[in-house]
Chains A and B, each alone.
Chain A
Amino acid sequence: MKQFSNTYIFIFSLLMVVTVATILSVVAMQLQPMQKKNIETNKKQNILLSLNIESNKDNALDQYDKYITDSYVINSEGERLEGVDAFSVDLSKEIVKPFEERRLPIYVGTVGDSTQYIIPIRGKGLWGPIWGYIALKSDYNTIYGTNFSHDSETPGLGAEIATRQFQKQFIGKKIFNEEDEFVSVDVVKGGAPSGAPHAVDGVSGGTITSKGVDSMLEDVIGAYVPYLKEMRNKKS
């Protein structure tokens, strides 16, 4: 193989880097609107899934407008914050703040004549962020449905949290115990005792992701507790 001079190597690398950078940035910019739309549609699909409504990407927007009847943002004392769009609140920025400073979005879903309150959640898995939505019945206690997604959990192991099979376990579980204390729902390694009101089975082989779901529920819903309690008291 022939030898190349240092000058040649510099020029070659420079040209290569510029070419590659140009191609990649043009492609990324061209595709960005479509990717954004996909992400938005997907978010709406995920919110609908927490109401146990399956949608595809063509009807997701219509379904969303039909079932999600209201959304608002509260602070940790349960006061509504005006002028903040729940859909645009970036949870990744909120969950690192202390409870008192968080802005807490709530979506209201109406299926038939029952009302559900959907809380978006976000936390840490093994390899990256995990997030989801949890819908509470109008008693602000019983779980109506859940949905979890992840960025990069191991398929077949941690990624199983994104399956309906795992998510359906949460239906009917309660986040407050009989003394009206917030206990969240535990994700138990090796399996929860059958009929336990505050526990579900973890994913075998996905222990760290399961723990992530467990602490995500506790941490994120924890910030809503004062509001949820207030609403519960108003009901009873």
Chain B
Amino acid sequence: MSQDKEPLFSAKNMRLLKEPLDDSNPITVQVLGICSALAITVKLEPSLVMALSVIFVMAVSNVVVSLLRAKIPPRIRIIVQLTVIASLVILVDEFLAAFAYEVSQQLSVFVGLIITNCIIMGRLEAFALGNKPWPAFLDGVGNAAGYGVILVIVGFVRELFGSGTIWGYQVIPETFYSVGYENNGLFILPPMALITVGIIIWVQRYRNRKLIEERQI
């Protein structure tokens, strides 16, 4: 490989992919995209499908905006970004309705909600507008995956305690219920998602000390 060309998976590029999973996680560190994380994590399955859809939309829109970055007039860049995201989301919606009708029914409003996901626009604005397509692609996949990981964890916890099921299958045995165990209805409601995310942030900061801010007196 020539000296002036950077390898596809250089350390720098890999960092784009890995950092959002922990050090700069969009949800737990940047606290973005909280709204959708609260709304759709009642069950594991929609959380995972949402994560996958966001990975697709974010990766493609990052690449598209990065390819157009020299052509987009700065004054209307937000409108352009929004158009790119919205068109991709509509495409996903149309294809799901044609080829995976059952999945599209389950997702219902979520697919549309991707348009309003602030992480996507945040990455387009902060990264794709100033970088080449390949790093932009990695950055998109990394950030969407960082978002998705949290979604899946929260979805798992909420479905387990809220409904006693995982992926729709009963996992808490009947005997528990007969001795007085009850599903915790609070987990079904959005406030518990916020508390769960709070606990994840706590655990993450305990393990990753460099995220802790200096004490300000």
Chain A positions within 8 Å of B, measured between CB atoms, are 1, 3-4, 8-9, 12-13, 16-17, 20, 23-24, 27-28, 31, 34-35, 38-39, 41-42, 57, 127, 149-157, 159, 204-205
Q: In chain B, residues 156-184, which have Cβ atoms closer than 8 Å to a Cβ of chain A?
A: 158-159, 162-163
CB<8 Å pairs between A and B, sample of 15: A4-B73, A8-B73, A9-B73, A20-B87, A24-B91, A35-B94, A35-B101, A149-B105, A154-B42, A155-B42, A156-B42, A156-B162, A156-B163, A157-B188, A204-B188
The digit string for B25-64, where 1 denotes a CB below 8 A from any CB of A, is: 0000000000000011011001000000000000000000
Please indicate the chain A residues that have their CB under 8 angstroms from the CB of B43 in the complex.
Answer: 155-156
- In the docked arrangement, what's the CA distance between A23 and B75, Å? 25
Please indicate the chain A residues that have their CB under 8 angstroms from the CB of B1 in the complex.
Answer: none
B199 at the interface (CB under 8 A from A): no
- In the docked arrangement, what's the CA distance between A16 and B159, Å? 42
Main secondary structure of the interface of A (DSSP, over half): helix
With A4-B73, A155-B40 known to touch, is A31 a contact of B162 (CB < 8 Å)?
A: no
With A27-B94, A38-B98 known to touch, is A4 a contact of B74 (CB < 8 Å)?
A: yes
Chain B positions within 8 Å of A, measured between CB atoms, are 39-40, 42-43, 46, 71-76, 79-80, 83, 87, 90-91, 94-95, 97-99, 101, 105-106, 108-110, 158-159, 162-163, 185, 188-189
With A154-B39, A157-B188, A159-B108 known to touch, is A34 a contact of B75 (CB < 8 Å)?
A: no
B98 close to A127 (CB less than 8 A): no
A24 close to B90 (CB less than 8 A): yes
Q: Which of B87, B98, B159, B188 has the most chain A CB atoms inside 10 A of its CB?
A: B98
Please indicate the chain B residues that have their CB under 8 angstroms from the CB of A152 in the complex.
Answer: 108-109
Residue of A nearest to B41 (CB): A156
Main secondary structure of the interface of B (DSSP, over half): helix
- In the docked arrangement, what's the CA distance between A31 and B94, Å? 7
- In the docked arrangement, what's the CA distance between A16 and B188, Å? 42
Q: Which of A1, A127, A149, A153 has the most chain B CB atoms inside 10 A of its CB?
A: A1
With A1-B74, A4-B75, A16-B83 known to touch, is A155 a contact of B46 (CB < 8 Å)?
A: yes
Please indicate the chain A residues that have their CB under 8 angstroms from the CB of B40 in the complex.
Answer: 155
- In the docked arrangement, what's the CA distance between A150 and B73, Å? 42
Residue of B nearest to A57 (CB): B101
Residue of B nearest to A153 (CB): B108
B97 close to A38 (CB less than 8 A): yes
Residue of B nearest to A12 (CB): B73
B99 close to A34 (CB less than 8 A): yes
